[in-house]
Amino acid sequence: AQRVTQPEKLLSVFKGAPVELKCNYSYSGSPELFWYVQYSRQRLQLLLRHISRESIKGFTADLNKGETSFHLKKPFAQEEDSAMYYCALMDTGRRALTFGSGTRLQVQP
């Protein structure tokens, strides 16, 4: 069965510090991985997907198949990055997502 693990419930950093939100997965096939973000009083929305290899709002995530990880990184955190972050793995059959339990990022001034 596929699984996504986010080991940290809360990550608190100061503004300007680097951020790394950890995500590990288990999946027997070729994974499609995503990071979704939920800002306060907003709906869950896509932040980035590994296929696109893009950088959104300064965030990047690299798929490491050897370590089965898809960690989210940003070199300099901003206060507006404070939110709940979910790593998600797509079931290629159903096209439905399996989510991790989420990490709350708090960026302090």
Partner 1 sequence: NAGVTQTPKFQVLKTGQSMTLQCAQDMNHNSMYWYRQDPGMGLRLIYYSASEGTTDKGEVPNGYNVSRLNKREFSLRLESAAPSQTSVYFCASSDRGGSYEQYFGPGTRLTVT
Residues in touch with partner 1 (CB under 8 A): 4, 6, 9, 32, 43-46, 49, 51-52, 86, 90, 94-102
52 or 66: CB nearest partner 1? 52
Contact 13/77 with Cβ under 8 angstroms? yes
Mapped onto helix, strand or coil, the DSSP state of residue 51 is helix
| Minimum CB distance to partner 1, residue 11 (Å) | 15
| Minimum CB distance to partner 1, residue 78 (Å) | 23
* CA gap 17, 90 in Å, rounded: 31
13 or 84: CB nearest partner 1? 84
Distances (CA, A) of 68 to 58, 81, 89: 23, 25, 12
| Minimum CB distance to partner 1, residue 20 (Å) | 19
